[in-house]
Amino acid sequence: METLEQIKKRIEAAVPGAKIDIVNNGSPSAQHSLKIDNEHARDVARFLRDDPALRFDFCSNVTGVDWLDRVIKKTVKTKQVVDGVEKDVDLTSEEKIPGYLEAVYHLFSIAHKHGPVIIRMQTGRANAQLSSLTPIWRSAELQEREIFDLYGIKFEGHPDLRRILMWDEFEDFPMRKDYRPPDDFEWEPTPHDDVLERAKQHYPARPTETELKPS
């Protein structure tokens, strides 16, 4: 299989205007991925599926990811003159990254027996919307519905976008990291003390002994 860098260059040549970035994975798996822009996502996906040398004809998994606001510290080495002597100095800077949501797709080629290639798309949290890749890989249909249900990402062009795990009247998206479960009902099969205490805050106030005494 071609390297990600080679695939990136071929996508950019085949899909004019597409913005492709390689996202490095520092874990032992070293499964690096391609971040693709939402505007050209479907054209990029179609190229990955139909290109004779790639033929990524199977999407095995689609996952939602929630990234909260975070600060990344970067350290670079530089040379500075200290007391008339040139020394190596570590300079640390901080980069603030706003939170966002992602959809991550794992692609394989059954025809060529290679993969995976991982592609990802990002969207803001306030108005989360991405292009559906179900028209390219039908296996993404139920998994995009699950991401819509649990993370709130709307997939434009999905053939049947509706909740799949939660009921229709359910509010909010329970897999988002800022989600807080309601505390006005005993939602655990065996409620623990802290759950019961939170629930009691919503119980009707009981009259005191003085109020119960006949006047």
- Between strands 20-23 and 33-36, the pairing is antiparallel
| pTM confidence score | 0.79
Please give the sequence-ordered ranges of beta strands (E in DSSP) within the chain, or none if there are none.
20-23, 33-36, 58-67, 70-82, 85-97, 100-109, 114-123, 129-131, 154-156
Q: Residue 197: what are its φ and ψ, rounded to 5°?
A: -65, -40
Supply the pLDDT for residue 198.
73
Res. 185: pLDDT tops 60: no
Q: What is the pLDDT of residues 66-91, one digit of tens each?
A: 999 988 888 888 878 777 788 888 88
pLDDT of residue 183: 66
pLDDT at 211: 63
Cα gap 124→131, rounded to integer Å: 13
Give the CATH H-level superfamily of domain 4-66+100-180. NADH:ubiquinone oxidoreductase Nqo5 subunit (3.30.460.80)
Task: Check pLDDT > 90 for residue 28.
Answer: no
Q: What is the pLDDT of residue 84?
A: 77
| Per-residue pLDDT, 95 | 86
DSSP state of 139: G
Every domain of the chain with CATH number 3.30.460.80 lies at 4-66+100-180
